[in-house]
Amino acid sequence: MSQARVRALQNGINIGLRFCITKRVIRITELVEMHIPDGLMDPVIALTGWIEFLVVAAVALFLVRTRVKDKDLPRIAVLSAGVFVAQMLNFPIGGGTTGHLVGGALMAIMVGPVVAILGMTVILLIQGLMFGDGGMTAFGLNAVNMAVIAPLTGWGVYTLIKPIVSRKDEKPFGPGTAIAVAAGAWASVFLAAAACAAELVVSYAISGGTYGIAATVSVPAMLGYHTVIAVGEAIITAGVLAYVWSISPGVFAREPVATTKAEGLRGILHLKTTQATIAVLIAFALALPLYFIYSAEGADGLEKTMSDAEVEEGGAVFSSPFSYGENYFAALFAGILGFVVTALAALGLLRILQGVKAAD
């Protein structure tokens, strides 16, 4: 190759690289997000999402009606609008990419999970109806991911972790609270993304590729990206709460503290730790129908291959109580999720037991 051609090639590469860097030709942020459009998910999964969402929404509406007064409505609306606007504010991640808030944890930690479920639902409705962000048949799934799982996990993790990491005499927003908030926010985004990825994978598996996205793409794309995004969410959520709670602590009242002390089972149910444990468990339980649909309708790849090739399966020497899922990624993330949820549930149980002992 002549020297002139080499130089021309180098120039070409240089110009291309510079173009990529300055123009940010591919913005990953625009490609990976959580709003599922219509027609992407298998109808069975979309229907499951709707059913789950309607059940949760009915319970949330009932609880809100008994707790929220009319004059609280504008404050809830402001909070929803604020989260919506905060979603428009992007933060830098590095390398020219940016991310933005989901806001479920922020809202739940500010006003409690029940109001947050309602507020996030309203945000998603506006996005779906007005801006084409997220479809209507997929609304149930979107709402389950971002309006139910995200606030429940965020608030649950925050409430469970806070007593451990913060001291009793801490200032309104000390380092302990910051850590708890950050952990809640991180977990909320990660779990929501994991749920979204799981829905995509199951859709793909049960529809034979007509709907959904293959696990090899969706799991690393959704989870890899959101693991990083969630760090941003954690930092920004902590920052926003530090600001709001220190500048005007009264603006958004933290959830009302139970004044009456109840006894027995009711007493345990009134403990915040109990509620937080339940919240985390609900967030996790929402994923179960997906698993059942998957195991009922999706044929195992190996079994299918074997039956196609008319190979008989021999008796298993040892059968594991858990299946390893479709592939390595699925297994890995199922493992991580299972670990986190079990740890949190155990933590919650321990704290409840301690609380009961202390009350005795």
* Positive or negative torsion for Cα 292, 294, 299, 301: negative
Minimum CB separation of residue 51 from another protein in Å reads: 15
Q: Is 21 in the site for another protein (CB under 8 A)?
A: no
Question: CA of 47: how far to CAs of 65, 149, 292, 293, in Å?
Answer: 27, 17, 14, 12
Q: Is 227 in the site for another protein (CB under 8 A)?
A: no
To the nearest 10°, report the CA torsion of 136, 60, 182, 344. -110
- The C-alpha atoms of residue 194 and residue 25 are separated, in whole angstroms, by 27
Q: Which is nearer to another protein, 152 or 238 (CB)?
A: 238
Minimum CB separation of residue 134 from another protein in Å reads: 9
Q: Is 220 in the site for another protein (CB under 8 A)?
A: no
* Residue 100 phi, psi dihedral angles, 5° rounding: -150, 165
- The C-alpha atoms of residue 188 and residue 192 are separated, in whole angstroms, by 6
For residue 314, the one-letter residue type is: G
Q: Which is nearer to another protein, 6 or 85 (CB)?
A: 85
Helices (H) and strands (E) in the chain, counts: 16, 2
Among 48, 52, 99, 182, binds another protein (CB under 8 A): 99
- The C-alpha atoms of residue 294 and residue 296 are separated, in whole angstroms, by 5
Q: Which is nearer to another protein, 35 or 162 (CB)?
A: 35
Question: CA of 343: how far to CAs of 281, 324, 337, in Å?
Answer: 11, 20, 10
Q: Is 239 in the site for another protein (CB under 8 A)?
A: yes
- The C-alpha atoms of residue 216 and residue 347 are separated, in whole angstroms, by 33
Q: Is 135 in the site for another protein (CB under 8 A)?
A: yes
Q: Which is nearer to another protein, 19 or 243 (CB)?
A: 243
- CB-based burial of residue 270 (10 Å sphere; 0-12 exposed, 13-18 middle, 19+ buried)? middle
Q: Which is nearer to another protein, 266 or 304 (CB)?
A: 304
**Which helix or strand (DSSP H or E) is residue 320 part of?**
none
Contact criterion met (CB below 8 Å) for 226 and 313? no
Q: Is 298 in the site for another protein (CB under 8 A)?
A: no
Minimum CB separation of residue 64 from another protein in Å reads: 7
**Between residue 34 and residue 93, which ones bind another protein under the rule CB under 8 A?**
35-40, 43, 46, 61, 64-65, 70, 73-82, 84-93
Residue from 71, 88, 224, 199 nearest 138 by CA: 199
Q: Which is nearer to another protein, 98 or 278 (CB)?
A: 98
Minimum CB separation of residue 113 from another protein in Å reads: 16
Question: Looking at 170-178, 217-225, 302-310, 345-353, which segment touches another protein (CB under 8 A)?
Answer: 217-225
Minimum CB separation of residue 75 from another protein in Å reads: 7
Among 27, 171, 254, 304, binds another protein (CB under 8 A): 27
**Between residue 115 and residue 134, which ones bind another protein under the rule CB under 8 A?**
118-119, 121-123, 125-126, 128-133
**Between residue 143 and residue 202, which ones bind another protein under the rule CB under 8 A?**
none
Minimum CB separation of residue 234 from another protein in Å reads: 10
Q: Is 270 in the site for another protein (CB under 8 A)?
A: no
Contact criterion met (CB below 8 Å) for 349 and 268? no
Q: Is 232 in the site for another protein (CB under 8 A)?
A: yes
Minimum CB separation of residue 351 from another protein in Å reads: 30
- The C-alpha atoms of residue 195 and residue 143 are separated, in whole angstroms, by 11
